[in-house]
A = this chain, B = another copy of it.
Amino acid sequence: MIIKKSESFQIVDKNFLRSHIGDDAGIIAIGNKYLVLSSDMLIEKHHFPKEMTFYQKGFKSVTVNLSDIAGMGAYPLGTLISLALPKNICRNEFDELINGILEACSFYNSPLIGGDTNEGDELIISGTGIGISDDENVLMQYGFKNKDLIAISGEIGLSAIGFEILNQGLEKTKKRLIDESVSSEFIDKSVSKILSPIAKVNEGLLLKESNIVTSATDITDGLSAELHQMYNSSNKHSKKSKNLGFLIYKDKIPSIDIIEKIAILLNKDYQDLIFNFGEDFELLFTINSSKFNEFKDYFKAEEYYIIGEVNKSNKIQLSLSNGKIEDIKLKGYEHFK
């Protein structure tokens, strides 16, 4: 019907395009650059603790989308945010929400590129993070080898603790924990982590630039879920590296003693807090152990934690303080209900 078929179709189809699905983000090659794209949808009752302000909800919606970009070691180019707004949202709540979104974009140096606004039954914030890399070898969830070190970019389990503190009543729970000699600093850090999480964007870029990190992902769903994803991704993509497994040392998990103590006080299983809650938005990554000295040029010792190693066990396991080894199971967690 149309006289011409656009020539752009032919040009692009040949070898312009490479797409990858299933990692933290999809990848498209554009000339000698690599676009990294990820979408995340936040739904009020699943993703926002009820104590969260609208500003914090807006900020978090940008954080979760850029955390996936950070997990690939890509530079964040921008974010698109679409909103479903319930009828009963007030004007000042809406302004706060938008303010949180815009300040997060400014914080991450990653502009708001677009979006859409609609009326919905509940608050939903759906975002897309756009990243870019000069290098085809962005950080994937696979690529680790036997004897690589397993590391995290910061403390984990704190978001889970912060959530439980809020859930059991902030003031009274805080008082109870302080009475049991938990520092108020640790409590505040935990509450801040659940209400105002930060994506480790610069850290992700440095992990990529170091050329020593063999794989990475961001910790959204909990350490257990992310380890299982990396294990499955490796089995799918790195056919030669069969039987690789992970061994995590309980005693190497930062602040494990405090976390275990708080878990008992909050009537929770410490393993659930560390492995199954997530929402920490720290990076989980593997380091080529023979080049670990070079890694130290990029990060100070207090900026990362080596928590385990890749081995040939074909299992995902935890080594307890007494040397006993048990499997780290994949366990779902119902957030914020």
Given contacts A2-B300, A35-B35, contact A25 B75 (CB under 8 A): no
Residues of chain B within 8 A of A118, CB atoms compared = 41, 43, 46
Assess whether B300 is in contact with A46, with CB atoms less than 8 Å apart.
Answer: no
Proximity string of chain A (156-186) to chain B, C-beta cutoff 8 Å, 1 when within and 0 when not: 0000000000000000000000000000000
Q: Does A202 contact B (CB under 8 A)?
A: yes
Residues of chain B within 8 A of A6, CB atoms compared = 75, 202, 205-206, 209
Assess whether A84 is in contact with B114, with CB atoms less than 8 Å apart.
Answer: no
Chain B residue with the shortest CB-CB distance to A23: B114
Q: Does A326 contact B (CB under 8 A)?
A: no
A1 interface neighbour in B12, B80, B303, Cβ under 8 Å:
B303
Assess whether B3 is in contact with A298, with CB atoms less than 8 Å apart.
Answer: yes
State in angstroms the CA–CA spacing of A269 and B105 once bound together: 44
A126 interface neighbour in B41, B75, B111, B203, Cβ under 8 Å:
B41
Which stretch (A26-34, A188-196, A310-318) binds chain B? A26-34
A61 to chain B, nearest CB (A): 12
Proximity string of chain A (83-97) to chain B, C-beta cutoff 8 Å, 1 when within and 0 when not: 110000000000000
Chain B residue with the shortest CB-CB distance to A83: B41
Q: Does A290 contact B (CB under 8 A)?
A: no
Which stretch (A13-21, A50-58, A258-266, A270-278) binds chain B? A13-21
Q: Give the number of chain A interface residues (Cβ < 8 Å).
A: 67
Assess whether B7 is in contact with A209, with CB atoms less than 8 Å apart.
Answer: yes
Given contacts A9-B202, A31-B31, contact A3 B122 (CB under 8 A): no
Q: Does A332 contact B (CB under 8 A)?
A: no
Instruction: Mark A residues whose CB is within 8 Å of B.
Output: 1-9, 12-13, 17, 19, 21, 25-26, 28, 30-33, 35, 37-41, 43, 46, 75, 77-78, 80-84, 109, 111-122, 124, 126, 128, 130, 132, 134, 202-203, 205-206, 209, 297-300, 302-303
A41 interface neighbour in B12, B33, B84, Cβ under 8 Å:
B84
Residues of chain B within 8 A of A119, CB atoms compared = 43, 46
Residues of chain B within 8 A of A84, CB atoms compared = 41, 43, 84, 124
Assess whether A2 is in contact with B40, with CB atoms less than 8 Å apart.
Answer: no
State in angstroms the CA–CA spacing of A78 and B7 once bound together: 18
Residues of chain B within 8 A of A43, CB atoms compared = 84, 118-120
State in angstroms the CA–CA spacing of A31 and B39 once bound together: 24
State in angstroms the CA–CA spacing of A75 and B120 once bound together: 31
State in angstroms the CA–CA spacing of A118 and B8 once bound together: 36
A247 to chain B, nearest CB (A): 28
Assess whether A303 is in contact with B205, with CB atoms less than 8 Å apart.
Answer: no
A–B complex contacts, Cβ < 8 Å, 24 sampled: A2-B202, A2-B206, A3-B298, A6-B205, A19-B78, A19-B111, A19-B113, A21-B113, A21-B114, A26-B78, A28-B77, A31-B31, A37-B113, A37-B128, A38-B114, A39-B126, A39-B128, A40-B82, A43-B120, A116-B126, A122-B122, A124-B124, A126-B126, A128-B128
Assess whether A26 is in contact with B124, with CB atoms less than 8 Å apart.
Answer: no
